[in-house]
Amino acid sequence: MKLRKPVLFLLLVTVFAPIVLYTDTLGTYFTSPSSSRTEFIEDLSTFTFGGDVRPLNVLPQESSTSLKEPRGDVYSENSSHSLSNASDTLSSEDARKTRQLTEESMKHQTATGSSNDGVEVAMNGSHISQVTANLHEPQQTDKTSPKLVSAGKNESIAMETISKKKTSPTDSNQTLDSTKTETRHDQRTVQTSGKFVSGETARGKDEERNVQIVPPDARVRQLKDQLIRAKVYLSLSATRSNPHFIRELRLRIKEVLRALGEATKDSDLSRSANEKLKAMEQTLAKGKQIQDDCATIVKKLRAMLHSAEEQLRVHKKQTLYLTHLTAKTLPKGLHCLPLRLSTEYFKLNSSQQHFPHQENLENPKLYHYALFSDNILAAAVVVNSTVSHAKDPSKHVFHIVTDRLNFAAMRMWFLANPPKYATVDVQNVEEFTWLNSSYSPVLKQLNSQSMIDYYFRSRADSDPNVKFRNPKYLSIMNHLRFYLPEIFPKLDKVLFLDDDIVVQKDLGGLWSLDLKGKVIGVVETCGESFHRFDRYLNFSNPLISKNFDPRACGWAFGMNIIDLNQWRRQNITEVYHSWQNRNHERQLWKLGTLPPGLITFWKRTYALDRSWHVLGLGYNPNVSQKDIQRAAVIHYNGNLKPWLEISIPKFRDYWSKFVDYDQAFLRECNINKLGGS
């Protein structure tokens, strides 16, 4: 009996002790609602994600109140770094405690037997997946965020434990109390990590939207900027009083200039450029410490800017003058050519100095061209390009008028290089006895002393617009276009061509055009504002303002079909003379042929299709290839003529392909394909 009682007691303890320890059947009678377990469940039942309070649906929802952060804790994007780093150092013991915690929570959920909670877990599982997805997203896109990876791993461990639903035989209320603080820390880590992830994701999208391509000359610009700043410090009184700094700054300037060299982009810089840039930046920082008065620096920069603008203006003026001088100066090769041709011409006997097919010169049924030029090579290109595109070259007659100096050479060229089947005639303007100062007011003006002084006085007194001071305006050759009926008295129509054009299509269709009673067919240039009447005429003069529209469309000489019969009926030559007499002091327009042309043919022009005549190849490199290819005539108007080395290279071949550079006279004068000599 004595042994039976201890045995029964031990048996009872052995049977009932596990029931008490491992079930909640009796635990509910010994624990109060304010126990650590209830407190823990209430703390863990909610979490903050993206600024919103959401239920943690893995646990039963016993309270709708949201978790409040402990007083004294401040969370920001920066704090997430420390929290995440702390989560990186979790030991295996921390992971074990977390598993125990989640297993106990699942046991409590099973004990309550709430089916609604199970449904809620199933339906709201997507919220947990959102958390884990956001935590894993930076792991895939940003390799430099190990703290986010660690946070994701901790959450993955917790989710894996919940899914397996294992139970631990070593759980106790003491364990819950010891892990409560750690759980709250992990919970805050999840919250701040979620905010950090969302912030980083938004910032990444903004950076993608605002991404800027680094220019290829970024460092070159930075080096040049440093040189400007260095020059500012060199000129300031505060820094000039520091000889050591001045010596160092001048040394840095030399180094940067040497590193910069002729570089136009970063790839042209030497390897030492970065070192020189950093060294200069350090020296400039010293200068900033010596002179920190922004007002003084701004004043100096403004003075430098004003000086640079003034230098730019002077250089532009010099460039303009030299460009005009180069364009009007005869290259050595083109000076050699007429001398060589003239020598050969005078070696011919009189019977060899005449052109064939002279009977075609006054036949009004043929296609007649008027070309006034003293440039032999340019005239040759006009004739060759026209004949090569003509459907029937035998119908084309070229009337070339030149001055006395080039008359023999021009004739010799076309005698030695006659165009196939076409007719050519060369005349000397000096033989036009009817063209004298008593008949032509412009010729009288050109021979006046005031006009000669205007062109040959010193540059200091020159007109600011140098293009109007071109000596070619002293030549009557430039004004022959206003005397076409007198030059060709037996012709009905004539096509006027400048010597700086190239023909690309058959022009025979121009003679069949009905000009509808107008005198001249032109291609208008209304597309640009500087091609309107107010660009060429002085509208401050009442004589101009009363008779013309300043916004009227200008047009171009260079390729113009002219009805000589209408010219004679409307007495155009007299109109031209009357306006020239009124402009004897150049008060209505500056010298040139286009302004008097606009006035003389006012309301007497017939607009041709733009494809007939494309301009700008002598000054505008942006003329489209499409316009050039569909043009019947392309015009090198401007200073960059195709026979000069200053011509626009991409347009040069359109002209040079009609020059035979293997011709004996060209080789003897060393005229090559580039147009130089």
Q: Which of 230, 234, 327 is nearest to 284 (CA)?
A: 230
Q: Calculate mean pLDDT across residues 529-558.
A: 87
- Distance of alpha carbon 615 from alpha carbon 658, whole angstroms: 19
**Highest mean pLDDT pick, 130-134, 381-385, 527-531, 533-537:** 381-385
Q: What is the 8-class DSSP label of residue 362?
A: G
Q: What is the 8-class DSSP label of residue 458?
A: -
pLDDT at 325 over 80: no
- Distance of alpha carbon 430 from alpha carbon 437, whole angstroms: 13
Taken as a whole, the chain contains a residue count of: 677
Kindly give, in sequence order, each residue whose CB lies less than 8 Å from that of residue 85, ignoring residues fewer than 6 positions away: 147
pLDDT at position 95: 52
Q: Which of 247, 243, 245, 251 is nearest to 276 (CA)?
A: 251
Query: In terms of CATH, what superfamily is 332-669?
Result: Spore Coat Polysaccharide Biosynthesis Protein SpsA; Chain A (3.90.550.10)
State the DSSP H helix or E strand holding residue 131, giving kind and residue range, or none if neither. Answer: helix 125-141
pLDDT, greater one: 190 or 497: 497
Q: How far apart are the first and last CA of the chain?
A: 140
Q: Calculate mean pLDDT across residues 192-212.
A: 54
pLDDT band at 31 (very low <50, low <70, confident <90, very high): very low
Least confident piece of the model among 123-132, 298-307, 418-427: 123-132
pLDDT at 675 over 90: no
- Distance of alpha carbon 614 from alpha carbon 623, whole angstroms: 9
Q: What is the 8-class DSSP label of residue 524?
A: B
The whole-chain average pLDDT of the chain stands at: 76
pLDDT band at 21 (very low <50, low <70, confident <90, very high): low
Residue the block writes with tokens 């040069």: 652
- Distance of alpha carbon 367 from alpha carbon 398, whole angstroms: 9
- Distance of alpha carbon 613 from alpha carbon 633, whole angstroms: 5
Same fold, 217-292 and 332-669: no
Least confident piece of the model among 19-28, 34-43, 587-596, 624-633: 34-43
Backbone angles phi, psi at 43, to 5 degrees: -70, -35
pLDDT at 643 over 50: yes
pLDDT, greater one: 51 or 417: 417
pLDDT digits (tens, 9 = 90+) for 503-522: 999 999 999 999 999 999 99
Kindly give, in sequence order, each residue whose CB lies less than 8 Å from that of residue 346, ignoring residues fewer than 6 positions away: 408
- Asked if residues 493 and 347 have their Cβ atoms less than 8 Å apart, the reply is no
**Residue 49 to residues 53, 127, 150, 447, 631, Cα–Cα distance (Å):** 7, 10, 18, 95, 69
SS3 of residue 532 by DSSP: strand
pLDDT at position 530: 57
pLDDT band at 464 (very low <50, low <70, confident <90, very high): low
- Distance of alpha carbon 272 from alpha carbon 536, whole angstroms: 55
pLDDT at 136 over 70: no
Least confident piece of the model among 108-117, 282-291, 566-575: 108-117
Q: Calculate mean pLDDT across residues 264-292.
A: 87
SS3 of residue 61 by DSSP: coil
pLDDT at 60 over 70: no
pLDDT at 86 over 90: no
SS3 of residue 438 by DSSP: coil
Least confident piece of the model among 118-127, 295-304, 577-586: 118-127
pLDDT band at 209 (very low <50, low <70, confident <90, very high): low
Task: Count CA within 13 A, CB hemisphere, residue 445.
Answer: 21
Task: Count CA within 13 A, CB hemisphere, residue 151.
Answer: 33
Backbone angles phi, psi at 634, to 5 degrees: -110, 140
Residues 526, 651, 521, 471, CA torsion sign: positive
pLDDT band at 213 (very low <50, low <70, confident <90, very high): confident
H, E, C per residue of 568-611: HHHCHHHHHHHHHHHCCCCCCCCCCCHHHHHHHCCCCEEECCHH
SS3 of residue 286 by DSSP: helix
- Distance of alpha carbon 534 from alpha carbon 524, whole angstroms: 15
pLDDT at position 199: 54
pLDDT at position 88: 46
Residue the block writes with tokens 């260095």: 230
pLDDT digits (tens, 9 = 90+) for 373-416: 999 999 999 999 999 999 999 999 999 999 999 999 999 999 99
Residue the block writes with tokens 């650590």: 36
Q: 55: how many CB neighbours lie within 10 A of its CB? A: 17
Q: Which of 449, 411, 453, 461 is nearest to 431 (CA)?
A: 411
% of the chain beyond a pLDDT of 70:
66
pLDDT at 574 over 90: yes
- Asked if residues 600 and 575 have their Cβ atoms less than 8 Å apart, the reply is yes
Rounded to 5, what percent of the chain is helix, strand, coil? 60, 10, 35
Strands 605-607 vs 520-522: parallel, antiparallel or unpaired: parallel
Q: 358: how many CB neighbours lie within 10 A of its CB? A: 10
Q: Which of 676, 648, 646 is nearest to 661 (CA)?
A: 676
pLDDT digits (tens, 9 = 90+) for 223-267: 989 889 888 888 888 888 888 889 999 999 999 998 888 888 888
Domain 217-292 CATH (choose: 2.60.40, 1.20.1270, 3.40.50, 2.60.120): 1.20.1270
pLDDT, greater one: 565 or 268: 565
% of the chain beyond a pLDDT of 90:
38
State the DSSP H helix or E strand holding residue 402, giving kind and residue range, or none if neither. Answer: strand 396-402
Name the residue ranges covered by the structural domains of the chain.
217-292, 332-669
pLDDT at position 501: 96
**Residue 649 to residues 329, 347, 642, Cα–Cα distance (Å):** 19, 38, 8
Q: Which residues pair with 521 in a beta bridge?
A: 561, 606
Q: Which of 205, 207, 78, 206 is nearest to 147 (CA)?
A: 78
Task: Count CA within 13 A, CB hemisphere, residue 643.
Answer: 27
- Distance of alpha carbon 293 from alpha carbon 291, whole angstroms: 6
Q: Which of 9, 33, 30, 10 is nearest to 20 (CA)?
A: 30
SS3 of residue 436 by DSSP: coil
pLDDT at position 472: 62
Residue the block writes with tokens 């397996």: 164
- Distance of alpha carbon 446 from alpha carbon 432, whole angstroms: 17
- Asked if residues 620 and 638 have their Cβ atoms less than 8 Å apart, the reply is yes
pLDDT at position 200: 54
